[in-house]
Amino acid sequence: MASTILPANPSKPRAGRFGVYGGRYVPETLMAALVELEHAYEAAKADAAFQAELTSLLTDYAGRPTPLYFANRLSEQLGGAKIYLKREDLLHTGAHKINNALGQGLLARRMGKRRIIAETGAGQHGVATATVCALLGLDCVIYMGDVDMERQELNVLRMRLLGAEVRGVSSGSRTLKDAISEAMRDWVTNVRTTYYLLGSALGAHPYPTMVRDFQRVIGMELKRQILEKEGRLPSAIIACVGGGSNSIGAFYEFLNDRDVRLIGVEAGGRGTALGEHAARFQGGAPGVLQGTYSYVLQDEDGQIAQTHSVSAGLDYASIGPEHAALHDSGRAEYVSCDDAAALDAVVKLARTEGILPALESAHAVAEAMRIAPSMSPREILVVNLSGRGDKDMGILARELKL
């Protein structure tokens, strides 16, 4: 159930708050663990050796910097703004999630925690976490809803091959929300030995800030790259928003560049009725879910709504608290894109550029396709291509009748 708890004094700026959003709404047993994590993270962040090891792994292991690619044929066919793609899809394990998994994996090892737990929806975060655990020699348990295990079988097999134990979750809707609850239960029980490696800019403080910091590299590279290629900043940056990590990573470096529009794309699913989509800013209201105060899809009694999206990675009832603040202040804009438009965008990008985007990323591509034609050829759009589409081949084969 979501509840509408406000901080004691919402006008007083506090660590872990983004305006009135964010905070730390967890059982008493986890408070000490979150404070320990916050301090350990602050110390690691300030430690040059930690940063150097992370940078080295991001470079030589994950494949950073990722290219900023000018999508010439796509831009020409749409006949408006120039479209660039930030190629997070080219990273090891196929998406931006490895940036955060490497950062938190190094942090866990530094904290002396040898057992890692994580939750996963589409399986991408589970694969990234299992990968990093193999790399660093850590034990790994991944919680995943039974429904998702069936939908994303290939990723389950990948995690097992990497040495992780995948625990199916059969409670509730048997999807991501339930996997997160199960992972939190595990953490409460094993908190002394266990590190909870959260996969998006969600959850209780310090996770939303820490995950954003580990994904900031996307926007930092992109700013340097677009200045090199075009000598100016883009008109807009477009990214899909599940929990909000690839988008906040792409946006953060541009928050003070007021002329750059920041556009987050949520999953419009198959309709506007509650339960048919995951567009938190269209149909949600402020509330607490899984440790943080943000926009939540809920019914009038505060029961968490069911969600739907063709892309499992966008299919979650809440959104990172920093996005809630950016939404309310108007600094970022949030739109939604439905399943059909996302599927069209997959086909279009595949056939104009030879790139198969993840279904999540295709939501951002669809928004670029929608707005580019009405823009001038002097304008630039950057799409954060958060991941590659291989993992979605089963769904694509069915939906597109390949």
Ligand X SMILES: *Cc1c(COP(=O)(O)O)cnc(C)c1O
Residue 360 in contact with ligand X, rule: CB under 6 A: yes
Radius of gyration of the chain (CA): 20
In angstroms, what is the minimal distance from the CB of 43 to ligand X? 25
Among 19, 80, 126, 244, binds ligand X (CB under 6 A): 244
Tell me the DSSP string of 90-141. Answer: GSGGGBTHHHHHHHHHHHHHHTT--EEEEEESSSHHHHHHHHHHHHHT-EEE
Closest CB to ligand X among residues 254, 375: 254
Question: Whole-number minimum distance, CB 180 to ligand X, in Å?
Answer: 13
Residue 379 burial class via C-beta count within 10 angstroms: exposed 0-12, middle 13-18, buried 19 and up: middle
Residue type, 394: G
Dihedral sign (CA 194, 195, 199, 202):
positive
Distance, CA of 241 to CA of 335 (rounded, Å)? 10
Query: Is the CB of 186 or the CB of 360 nearer to ligand X?
Result: 360
75, 235, 361, 386: the catalytic one is 386
Q: Which of 101, 241, 368, 372 binds ligand X (CB under 6 A)?
A: 241
Residue closer to ligand X, measured from CB, 145 or 387: 387
CA angle 166, 358, 143 (to 5 degrees): 15
Which helix (H) or strand (E) covers residue 292, if one does? Answer: strand 292-296
Task: Convert 148-187 to b/e letters by CB count within 10 Å (16 or more is b).
Answer: bbebbeebbebbeebebebbbbeeebbbbbbbbbbbbebb
Closest residue to ligand X in the complex (CB)? 387
User: By CB under 6 A, which span of 79-87, 168-176, 244-252, 370-378 interacts with ligand X?
Assistant: 244-252
Q: Which one from 38, 88, 119, 367 is the annotated catalytic residue? A: 119
Region from 7-15, 22-30, 225-233, 357-365 binding ligand X, contact rule CB under 6 A: 357-365
Catalytic site includes residue 113: no
Residue 81 CA to residue 236 CA, distance in Å, equals 10
C-beta closer to ligand X: residue 116 or 278: 278
| Residue number, 86 or 97, with CB nearest to ligand X | 97
The residue among 10, 13, 22 whose CA lies nearest residue 248 is 22
Nearer to ligand X by Cβ, of 355 and 375: the residue is: 355
Q: Pick between residue 90 and residue 380 the one whose CB is nearest to ligand X.
A: 90
> What is the full DSSP assignment across 14-25?
-TTEETTEE---
Q: Is 23 in the site for ligand X (CB under 6 A)?
A: no
The C-alpha atoms of residue 234 and residue 227 are separated, in whole angstroms, by 9
Q: Which of 22, 243, 269, 286 binds ligand X (CB under 6 A)?
A: 243
Name the DSSP class of 255: T
List 82, 97, 113, 223, catalytic entry: 97
DSSP 330: T
Residue 53 C-beta: closest distance to ligand X, Å = 24
To the query of whether residue 386 is one of the catalytic residues in this protein, the response is yes
Indicate whether 367 belongs to the interface with ligand X (CB under 6 A): no
Is residue 95 at the binding interface for ligand X, with CB under 6 A as the rule?
A: yes
Phi, psi angle pair for 168, to nearest 5°: -70, 145
Q: For ligand X, which is the closer residue by CB, 99 or 375?
A: 99
CB 244 to ligand X: min, Å: 5
For residue 212, state whether it binds ligand X (rule: CB under 6 A).
no
**DSSP notation for 366-387:** HHHHHHGGGS-TT-EEEEEE-B
CA 43 vs CA 29, 51, 199, 302: distances in Å: 23, 11, 21, 38
Phi, psi of 252 (to 5 degrees): -55, -40
Looking at 63-71, 185-193, 234-242, 324-332, which segment touches ligand X (CB under 6 A)?
234-242
Annotated catalytic, 379? no
Out of 93, 155, 175, 200, which residue is the one contacting ligand X (CB under 6 A)? Answer: 200
Q: Pattern of binders to ligand X over 383-402, x per CB under 6 A?
A: ---xx---------------
Q: What angle do CA 165, 241, 99 make, to 5 degrees?
A: 50
Q: How many residues bind ligand X (CB under 6 A)?
A: 20
| Residue window 106-145: x/- pattern of binding to ligand X, with contact defined by CB under 6 A | ----------------x-x---------------------
Q: Which residues bind ligand X (CB under 6 A)?
A: 95, 97, 122, 124, 200, 240-247, 313-314, 358, 360-361, 386-387
Which residues form the catalytic set?
97, 119, 386
